[in-house]
Amino acid sequence: MDYTTQMDAAKKGIVTPEMEIVAAKEEMDINDLVEKTARGVVCIPANKNHTNLSPEGIGEGLRTKINVNLGISRDCADVEKELDKVRTAINMKAEAIMDLSNYGKTREMRKKILDISPAMLGTVPVYDAIGYCEKKLKDITKDDFMRVVRQHAEDGVDFMTIHAGINRATAQIVKKNPRRMNLVSRGGALLFAWMEMTGNENPFYEYYDEVMDIFAQYDVTISLGDACRPGCIDDSTDASQVSELIVLGELTKRAWEKNVQVMVEGPGHMALNEIAANMTMQKRLCHGAPFYVLGPLVTDVAPGYDHITSAIGGAIAAANGADFLCYVTPAEHLCLPDLEDMKEGIIASKIAAHAGDIAKGVKGAREWDNTMSDARKALDWEKMFALALDPEKPRKYREGSKPREENTCTMCGEQCAVRNMNRILGGEEVTI
């Protein structure tokens, strides 16, 4: 059929195979999905060259999805360890993986992930530019940046973070409004430094239409990066963050004009009482485009436990309209996470996403909990394990602390309220 991207197809009323898969996964009317995709409030990141992709939808009325960051760096360059993380993330049903590799054979790493992963793959091309071009940051040209973007698209990357909102005007606002933590976005800081050293405009902003032409050719979804996301709660909702968000709203419309699907990235670190308002503001300024948040982390004083501070904020964000959560691990701010850190981060993010789905009334979300409650009432341990987000951990606890009576646990024993209520309401005596 004659269409260039999922959005182009939706605008023409064409149902793509990817839309059919997403509609089935979400138990959603296909016509409703097509309409939302045409308006841009739902995106289906699906690069034409990612041949083994199992498509997922992100956006209005859909389940909140999670992303897992991984990748090699100069200090941790073991490709096989990172591929083990990929396999584990897939087994744990993460919907997306972002390869943030910035050292060594990044293309080899990226292609290996694409070969084994049915999950969406995201990248941040500016991370890769320095190694790919073998130049100092200040010597990289606009054409260099574009070559990296095109290579990622050709390889099959489904969505790319492009920090196009940190233009020279936004940079002036950053400089005039000093922050406690400055910029903490790696890509944003690199482009800010590049602009300062070269005196040039951000090439991703200046040549945005050229970027969109590449994205449309391969049906890459743009994830509009938040260079000015707050890196501590004291910097949230400030002039820099809001001014960049206004630019991202303008860029969203320009992408849609090219039939390029859009996600918009958001905070960051943010106090609990600001999260709901930020979700509303983003949706308003960015015309309902799907919102992708890192956290938000609701306090800055818990290094080693930031998967928890992130899950708290993520649940509130999802309940108030965020569509996609980037996981945070216990190693955040400290080091590259290992496999166990990654598992903890995935589970924390999936809990936050599901809690948000219950609050948003996403189809099937509450029913999952109700089925678990029925299994608990029946003291059906095997069914409880099968329904659990992480079946392995509850089974391990149960097997590691066996009760005297099978239909109890070692917390309450024969005083178990569930067992005793079942008995007394069933006409049996409770004998203790």
Q: Residue 98 in 3-state DSSP?
A: strand
Determine which helix (DSSP H) or strand (DSSP E) holds 161, and give its type and residue range: strand 159-162
179 annotated ligand-binding residue: no
229 annotated ligand-binding residue: yes
326 annotated ligand-binding residue: no
225 annotated ligand-binding residue: no
CA-to-CA separations, 247 to 191, 217, 231, 251, 339, in angstroms, rounded: 16, 24, 20, 6, 37
Q: How far is CA 369 from the centre of its chain?
A: 23
265 annotated ligand-binding residue: yes
236 annotated ligand-binding residue: no
286 annotated ligand-binding residue: no
CA-to-CA separations, 191 to 138, 183, 246, 279, 367, in angstroms, rounded: 10, 11, 19, 26, 46
269 annotated ligand-binding residue: yes
289 annotated ligand-binding residue: no
307 annotated ligand-binding residue: no
Cis bond before residue 118 (omega within 30° of 0): no
333 annotated ligand-binding residue: yes
Site of tokens 């409770």: 430
Q: Residue 157 in 3-state DSSP?
A: coil
| CB-based contact 142:203 (threshold 8 Å) | yes
Question: Residue 353 CB: number of other CB atoms within 10 A?
Answer: 26
DSSP string over 255-310: HHHTT--EEEEE-SB--HHHHHHHHHHHHHHTTT--EEEE--B--SS-TT-HHHHH
| CB-based contact 222:10 (threshold 8 Å) | no
Alpha-carbon distance of 273 to 166, in angstroms, equals 26
Q: What angle do CA 332, 334, 340 make, to 5 degrees?
A: 60
163 annotated ligand-binding residue: yes
- Annotated binding-site residues for substrate read 69, 98, 127, 163, 185-187, 226-229, 265, 292
- Annotated binding-site residues for Zn(2+) read 269, 333
- Annotated binding-site residues read 69, 98, 127, 163, 185-187, 226-229, 265, 269, 292, 333, 409, 412, 416
- Annotated binding-site residues for [4Fe-4S] cluster read 409, 412, 416
